Structure 1
Amino acid sequence: MNSPEQKSIRAVEPDDIPALKRIIDATDMFPSEMLDDMIAGYFSTGGSEEIWLTYNDNGAKAVAYCRPEEMTDRTWNLLLIAVDPDRQGEGIGAALMSHIEDHLAAHGQRVLIVETSGTDALARTREFYRLCQYDQESRIRDFYADGDDKITFWKALQA
C-alpha cells in the first residue's frame, strides 16, 4: 500500500459537494443534506477562517472541516473528518489530520480539539485519534443522548 500523497489534499471546491455527500452518507456521519448549510459560508465569504479540505485523487475520497473555537486563544475544533469506507485504513485520514495540524501550527495556532461519541460504534474512531497522538481530555456523560457520551480529544500544535 502506498502512503497518501499530500498533493492530493486541497481545499474543497463547489464541484466536490456531490462526492463529499456520498462520503458522508457512506460513513453515516450525519444527514448529508446538512452539508449545504455547513459549507455555505465558506464559499460565500472568501475570507472565512474555516478550513475545508478534501483528499482527491481522481475523485473525492475524504473530507475534513475545522474552525477556530470562539472566545479562545488560537484553539481550533475539528468538526468533521470522513474517509470513503472503501479507502479507510490507507492513511488518508491521518494524512488529512497531519496536513491540518501542520497548517495550523505554521500559522501560530496552539491547540486542536476533536469531539466524538462514546458509543461502541465509534470505538474505531476514538482509536484513530489516539493513533494520531491525541489525548482524551474529557467525557461528558449522556451528552448526545441517553447512553451517548461526548468524548473530547486534545493535541498541542507544534510550530
Structure 2
Amino acid sequence: MTKPIIKTTTAEDIPALQEVLDKTGLFPSDMLPDMLAPALAGETESFWLTCFVDGRAIGLCYTIPEEFAPGTWNMLALAVHPDLQGRRVGTALVSAVEQHLIAQQQRILIVDTSGTEAFARTRQFYAQAGYEEEARIRDFWAEGDDKVTFRKAL
C-alpha cells in the first residue's frame, strides 16, 4: 500500500465514498451528496477530507464547528473502506483533521461513539490517537447503548 494522500473532498469523490459508506454502514450512502453540498458550495466552515490510496478514494472524515463553543470542533464521521482498516488510514485522516484545525488555531476536537461492545475497537482507536474519554451518557443511542464522548486538546 502506498502512502495515503488526503485532500479536501470534491464532487468527483462522491461515488467512491458512497462505496465506502455502503461497505461500512456508517450511514446511508444516498445521504452523502446532500450532506456534502454546503461544503462543496463554500457555504459552511464544516469540512470533509477524502483519503486516497493508489489513486482510489478509500476513506472520509467530516468535521464541524460546535455552535456556541468557539474553537471547539466535532468529528461527526470517519470511515475507511473495510479492506484497508487497520492500516493506519484512519489515523492519517484524524491527523490531517487535527493539523487543519491547529493551523486555524482551534482549541478542541471531540468525537462521539457508542459504548457497546461492537464499538470497542473504535473507542480503542481514539484512545490510541490521544483522545480521552470525557463523558458518557447512558442509554443515549438506545437502551443499553451509551454515547461516549472523546476529547483532544489541539
Q: Which band: TM-score by shorter chain?
A: over 0.9
Letter in 2 for 1:52: W
Corresponding position of 1:50? 46
Name the TM-score, length of structure 1 as normaliser: 0.91
Deviation at 1:96, TM superposition (A): 0.8
Corresponding position of 2:7? 10
Matches within 5 A, 1:1-159: 4-5=3-4, 8-44=5-41, 46-57=42-53, 58-157=55-154
Deviation at 1:148, TM superposition (A): 1.1
Letter in 2 for 1:120: E
Q: Secondary structure at the match of 2:29?
A: coil
Deviation at 1:48, TM superposition (A): 2.3
Deviation at 1:106, TM superposition (A): 1.3
CA distance in 1 between counterparts of 2:73 and 2:66 reads 5
Deviates more, 1:81-90 or 1:23-32: 23-32
Q: Secondary structure at the match of 2:67?
A: coil
Deviates more, 1:47-56 or 1:67-76: 47-56
Name the TM-score, length of structure 2 as normaliser: 0.94
Divergent runs of 4+, >4 A: none
CA distance in 2 between counterparts of 1:139 and 1:104 reads 25
CA distance in 2 between counterparts of 1:146 and 1:40 reads 33
Q: Secondary structure at the match of 2:118?
A: helix
CA distance in 1 between counterparts of 2:113 and 2:62 reads 14
Deviations along 1:56-85, one digit per CA (max 9) or x if unpaired, are: 131101000001000102100000000010
Deviation at 1:47, TM superposition (A): 4.7
List alignment gaps of at least 5 residues for structure 2: none
Letter in 2 for 1:87: L
> How much is the aligned-residue C-alpha RMSD, in angstroms?
1.3
CA distance in 2 between counterparts of 1:156 and 1:54 reads 23
